Structure 1
Amino acid sequence: MCASGVSNPLDIIKVRQQLRTQSARANSFWVVGIEMARSEGLRSLMNGFSASMLREFVYSGIRLGSYEYFKDAVYQISDGRLSRDSLGLKVAAASIASTIGSALANPADLVKVRMQAYYPSGTPYRNMRHAFATIWKQGSTAANGSGTSFMPGGLRALYRGVSPTTVRGVILSTSQICSYDQVKQVLKRRGVMEEGIPLHLTASMFAGLFCSITSNPVDVVKVRLMNDHSHQYNGVTDCIKTILRSEGPVAFYKGFGMCWARLGTVTIVTFVVFERIRLLFGVAAM
């Protein structure tokens, strides 16, 4: 939550970049940021802050909080076939933890994206609670007469884009948490660095770059689907095909500079604060 709060302005600029479908339009983060400040005011850079806090409380709370629990569980299930230091064990644990976290946090993630999007006539949401209620109501209204489903229409609306959200969560978390864990382990084992803030900073810098490269394409698809009010995309596959057809493969890396700036910042703050909190409560370092 601390990391997300620090990086919220970078996050909203990244979302605006990823929502732009015009390939010829200037889309650098400086252009987008200046446009927002001029037309919507500096406070617009903190849009979606409350939803972002809720999302991180659920998503990162679960993926970081349960990572080592699942490492122990998978190790026991493997019955010694996986070593404690193996990359496979780390990937399995991070995948399970992030799948649960990202799936449960999808409604808050969707509300965050909707609150951060640009609306020519002004945002339709007064606050996070109003956004949740509005999206639920729209989903319930759209579901009337559309057949039966095990899931209420309002809940389906809040879970729109859950597939790419979960995939992105798994890709981001496995590349972020595993690379941080692995880089730390290698640097300590080779005697390059010892446990402490310099090691945490170094490992988190590498982790921020790795997870930015792997997660940006899925993030673009996730943001487009979550903000698809008119349902122009018929699912994940159709969204990918449409982007490829109309904007080309480079479109999947729209907002990469801001994604890296944001994820790099988030990763550094997350792991440094995480390790400090562990130390404060007498828990061994990751």
Structure 2
Amino acid sequence: MVADLKPKTEISFAGILASSAFAASVAELCTIPLDTAKVRLQLQKKALGDGVVLPKYRGMLGTVSTIAREEGFSALWKGIVPGLHRQCIFGGLRIGLYDPVKSLYVGKDFVGDAPLSKKILAALTTGALGIIVANPTDLVKVRLQAEGKLPSGAPRRYSGAMNAYSTIVRQEGVGALWTGVGPNIARNAIINAAELASYDQVKQSILKIPGFSDNVFTHLLAGLGAGFFAVCIGSPVDVVKSRMMGDTTYKSTLDCFIKTLKNDGPLAFYKGFVPNFGRLGSWNVIMFLTLEQAKKFFSRQA
């Protein structure tokens, strides 16, 4: 991972990939209700015409409450199967490949800690590579999470994750699994860079404060910092990505961006900011804490 996360003992590359995938999956399982709320808020559009219609979803807790009340508590975990698929693939690749790619950029003869620019570049690269492979899982997760916005009694498009994969391929073609891959690459590359670089920097700054040490509390604060920076930087492309994946009427990334800006205004790109931060903040805390422990386990097995 980042420099401060390197284990004190040797760990194999397979162990790093396994640790990363496991940590990302645990974080996904714990925080997907907030992600479901975020997606619903992002897909919610302003009413057109003269009629005044109050938004169905309001705020993170309000959205979670509305979904649980109208669709059942289990609806908050819609998309968890492809979500776990995504984290095993994307989480494992973006984190597991980070150190090798960073070493490639600084050169084999480089001594010392890599400069921040190389860390950002490495994280951008692994984030982009990881989501190119994992985009189908992200698409299916968003489609399943968006099902609840259909009118009451309307037939559901998909009965589950595997049915969604096959239905999309059958009805829309294999290429449809990469719908929204453009904004998804932008979002995940940017967020990956924001998370890894900011976690590294925040943690390093905290450790310079007297009384702080490299412990769980420091990891918690650094994880929250990483989540905050990731949301601030990545929210606009996240909204575009969710709308493109949840609504097939958009022709392209640019078309989605322009229509969202025209119809809903610039603040629409920060719809779901609070649940998004609640999601990414808690996600980063859980992921980094789990990652530390998983890497210790795999290093003992080496």
Structure 1: tracts of 5 or more residues without a match: 140-153
CA distance in 1, matches of 2:69, 2:214: 45
Pairing partner for 1:89 from 93, 96, 118: 118
CA distance in 2, matches of 1:214, 1:158: 26
Q: Under a length normalisation based on structure 1, what TM-score does the superposition of the two structures give? A: 0.87
Q: Deviations along 1:27-70, whole A, 9 cap, x unmatched? A: 32233222222221111111111010001111111011111111
- Counterpart check, 1:17 vs 2:48: no
CA distance in 2, matches of 1:84, 1:172: 22
Residue 127 of structure 1 corresponds to which residue in structure 2? 160
- Counterpart check, 1:109 vs 2:138: yes
Structure 2: tracts of 5 or more residues without a match: 1-24, 48-53
Residue 253 of structure 2 corresponds to which residue in structure 1? 236
Residue 206 of structure 2 corresponds to which residue in structure 1? 187
CA distance in 1, matches of 2:269, 2:100: 34
Count the aligned residue pairs: 265
CA contact (8 A) 1:75 1:84 kept: no
Matches within 5 A, 1:95-244: 95-117=124-146, 118-120=149-151, 121-139=154-172, 154-188=173-207, 193-229=212-248, 232-244=249-261
Q: Give the drift of 1:282.
A: 2.6
Residue identity (%): 35
Q: Under a length normalisation based on structure 2, what TM-score does the superposition of the two structures give? A: 0.83
Q: Give the drift of 1:122.
A: 4.5
Q: Give the drift of 1:275.
A: 1.1
Partner AA of 1:225 in structure 2: M
CA distance in 1, matches of 2:171, 2:286: 37
Q: Give the drift of 1:195.
A: 2.1
* RMSD of equivalent CA atoms: 1.8
CA contact (8 A) 2:194 2:226 kept: yes
- Higher RCO (C-alpha 8 Å, min separation 6): 2
CA distance in 2, matches of 1:190, 1:66: 31
User: CA 1:258 to 1:280, structure 2 compared with 1: closer, same or farther past 3 Å?
Assistant: same
CA distance in 2, matches of 1:57, 1:262: 18
Residue 260 of structure 1 corresponds to which residue in structure 2? 277
Q: Give the drift of 1:71.
A: 1.4
